[in-house]
Amino acid sequence: MDDTTGDVDGLRRQFAFLAEIDGLKAVLRQNRTIGEGRRENSAEHSWHLAMFALVLGEHAPGIDLGRVVTMLLLHDIVEIDAGDVPIHGHYDAAALAFIEAAAADRIFGLLPDPQRDRFLALWREFEAVETAEARFAKMLDRLQPLLLNTLTGGGTWAENGLTLAQVLARYLPVVERGAPSLLPHVEGMIRRHYAAEGA
């Protein structure tokens, strides 16, 4: 834990960061909420992912769940500057990576240096998807909208005209890398949805 006790400038920077990240509540995603059918915002998405980690953490034995939860709370903060780019949309991945890296430097740069460095390192770890924690976090980032789509009439899958084969190809490899034990259940969710839709 970073200690800013007695550091007036450090505390000022922490509050500046906390005020800045309120902007995540204004970033709308494509996914719709289950009950209201409105588009969720990125702050809601990040909270839901943290809960996914706490509830499903047993499916990734040996991971540091605290790191995963922290990654999930941090991973979309860059969307304050970069906006949300839907997985099913067409975009320039290299250009987006550049924009998001600049956003991470700016927003996490509001914090005192030790916290800035720690949060940036976790954000970069999530983006690189090389550690077990990052693979599990990335899997949850894919799983949460999958669940919402199955409970909102197809959600973004229907809006983007995705076939069963396309959905399986986009989701199952990420699930297999992050939590293989969940793979049969997740595949079943997808197939049951498409069977019910008659696709």
pLDDT digits 0-9 by tens, 26-75:
999 999 999 888 999 999 999 999 999 999 999 999 999 999 999 999 99
Burial 88-108 (b: 16+ CB within 10 A, else e): eeeeeeeeeeebbbebbeebb
**Smallest Cα–Cα separation from 29: which of 131, 118, 135, 159?**
159
Q: Quick one: pLDDT at residue 11?
A: 97
Q: What share of the chain is helix, strand, coil (3-state, %, to 5)?
A: 70, 5, 25
pLDDT digits 0-9 by tens, 100-156:
999 999 999 999 999 999 999 999 999 999 999 999 999 999 999 999 999 999 999
Output the CATH code of domain 8-197.
Answer: 1.10.3210.10
pLDDT digits 0-9 by tens, 5-22:
568 999 999 999 999 999
DSSP letter for 38, please. P
Q: Quick one: pLDDT at residue 199?
A: 54
Question: Taking the complete model, does pTM exceed 0.85, yes or no?
Answer: yes
